Amino acid sequence: MSNVVSKSGRIIEDPPLAKLLFSNTRLAWLWTIIRVLIGISWLQAGLHKVSDAGWMQTGDALKGFWTGALAIPDGGKSKIAFDWYRQFLQGLMDSGSYVWFAKLVAVGEVLVGVALIIGAFVGIIAFFAAFMNWNYIMPGTASTNPLLLVGAIALILAWKIAGYYGADYFLLRYLGTPWLRTKDKVEVVGPSGQTVSLGKA
């Protein structure tokens, strides 16, 4: 595993607490619970959408959501705090993109949910989950999205062990990661304090 080295040659390591939380497999069970709970939340939301014609055929469900977000009450303020994001959504509305975008959202939520539940490519999938949460929050929708966003960011930080009790145990071991050279390894701290390599040799 690559380390950051200062100009003086000193190896800059993570704080002990960060190592324990994000790199020690003794806490992999905790991340498994968090990962599965978030995955179930995404899967339930996605299954509801893929069985709804408003999402999978006409896109009217997403159109209604965007319409509500873009609406400005008389004498009031828009739910969307940033003008650039409001213009972005307005452009999607004007082009009728809600028809295909609704399908993308519905299927994407199902795929994210399944991948998190089985623990496959957790770090990457959690990034897309966080991105979707962010896009729900930006139009002014709170609900459970802020909490799910925090959970997704935490899974990104714990990507090395969040899928340890899942498909990533095998995927990281045999496929490695796109951002590591072939000779590099993904290393975590095992239950007994030993270093465990999960990446390619």
Chain segment 168-179, per-residue pLDDT in tens: 999 988 887 665
Indicate the pLDDT class of residue 91, thresholds 50, 70 and 90: very high
Between 81 and 61, name the one with better pLDDT.
61
Domain-wise residue ranges, the chain: 24-166
| Alpha-carbon gap, residue 189 to 81, rounded angstroms | 43
Q: What is the pLDDT of residue 13?
A: 75
Residue 85 contacts residue 141 (beta carbons within 8 Å)? no
Lowest mean pLDDT among 51-60, 120-129, 191-200: 191-200
Does the structure show a pLDDT above 50 at 165?
Answer: yes
Q: What is the dihedral of CA 130, 46, 136, 36, to 10 degrees?
A: -30
- Max CA separation in the chain (angstroms): 64
- Average pLDDT value for residue range 95-113: 97
Nearest to 21, CA basis, from 137, 157, 139, 145: 157
Does the structure show a pLDDT above 80 at 41?
Answer: yes
Query: CA dist 144 to 55, 103, 147, Å?
Result: 20, 22, 6
